[in-house]
Every structure is written in C-alpha cells, then in structure tokens.
Amino acid sequence: ITKAMQMVAASKMRRAQQAALAGRPYAELMNKVLAEVSAGAGEFSHPLIHEGSGEKRALIVISSDKGLCGGLNSNLLREAGKAPKDSTVFISAGRKASQFLARTKRDLAAEFSYKDAPQFAEARAISKMAQDMFLKGEVSGVDVLFTNFISTLVQKPEIKTFLPIGEIQGIKAG
C-alpha cells in the first residue's frame, strides 16, 4: 500500500511540476509584449498605463487551499504580512491567503476560491475586479503576490506589478 501511495504522489508531483513549467514561456512572452508596447507608446495615453488616483495599493495574494506543502504558504504569507496595513487593500485567491488576511485583520476587498486546476474564467474574475478598482480610483496600483516555482524543493514568493501597465518590469523592451 505504501509503495502504491508513493507512486501516486510521484505521479501527482510530476503533473504539478509540468503544469507549473508549461505556463512560463507564455508569461515571459506576454511580459515582453507588454514591455514593448509600453516602451513604444509615445504620446499614446490609456488609463491602465498611468498611476491611479487612489491612496492605497491593491495586493492580490495567490495561495493554495490546503496546507502540508512545506514552506510554500508560510513563505508567501510572511511576504504578504510585510505589506503595510494602512495603505494596502488585499484580494485573496486561495483559502490559506483568506484565512491569513482575516486572522491578521487586513483590509480584504474580496476572496476568490478555485479548484486544483484553476480555469481562465476564475482568473478573469480576479483581474476584472482589480481593473475596476484601479479605473474607479480606489487604488493607485495593483500588485500580485505568488509563489514562483523554481524546483520541487524551492519555491520563492514573488511580487509583480499588474497595474499600471507602464510599471511592469522584468523583461526589458527591445
């Protein structure tokens, strides 16, 4: 029985690792396209390119729903805890983030849950809410806090700017 459980766990781990790595080329290319567009925008102006008028910044925290995953959630939530309470509005995706933000009495604008394999529609709902908050002037910008998969033993929390698009960094234009 133990050997069968080990084989099932190894299979699940392989699938999770493949899923984590499969989206990386798309994300890198999308980041490069956004950098190229914002660098070549010139006089073009759009509300999503410039800093918003809100006093606070939104932070989308993406966690897992379950524990028992080593330091994955604890490292991520430790990073979320560093965000200033008085100038940050939080949006949680995942049960562990929701629980942490409620327990630490953070300004939680919304909670989203998703299944083991998140769907595009679920991500779109989170994105739409963040864009609406930004365009209405409720927040000056939106950042995303997530776990960057490096290997099965190493996952590091990372914060990326989502809005305004003009602040997106990482891959330089050109």
Residues 64 and 130 occupy one common structural domain? yes
pLDDT digits (tens, 9 = 90+) for 42-100: 676 777 777 778 899 999 999 887 766 667 788 899 999 999 999 999 999 989 999 99
Q: For the chain, where are the E strands, in sequence order?
A: 56-62, 88-93, 108-112, 139-149, 155-163
Is the pTM for the entire model greater than 0.85? no
pLDDT of amino acid 172: 40
Q: Quick check: is 172 in a domain?
A: no
Is residue 171 in a domain?
no
- Which segment of 8-12, 13-17, 66-70, 109-113 scores lowest on mean pLDDT? 66-70
Same domain for 63 and 75, yes or no, is yes
Q: Kindly name the residue from 9, 10, 41, 69 that is annotated as catalytic.
A: 69
**Total domains in the fold of the chain:** 2
Range of the domain at 134: 45-166
CATH number at residue 78: 3.40.1380.10
- Whole-angstrom CA distances from 34 to 22, 24, 29, 45, 169 are 20, 15, 9, 14, 9
Same domain, 16 and 51: no
- Do you know the residue count of the chain? 174
Q: Among 43-52, 128-137, 154-163, which range has the highest average pLDDT?
A: 128-137
Same domain, 52 and 39: no
Q: What percent of the chain has pLDDT over 70?
A: 84
Residue 174 within any structural domain of the chain: no
In a domain, 173, yes or no: no
Q: Band of the pLDDT at 174, cuts 50, 70, 90?
A: very low
pLDDT number for residue 88: 96
- Mean pLDDT, to the nearest integer, of 109-120? 81
Establish whether 112 is a catalytic residue.
no
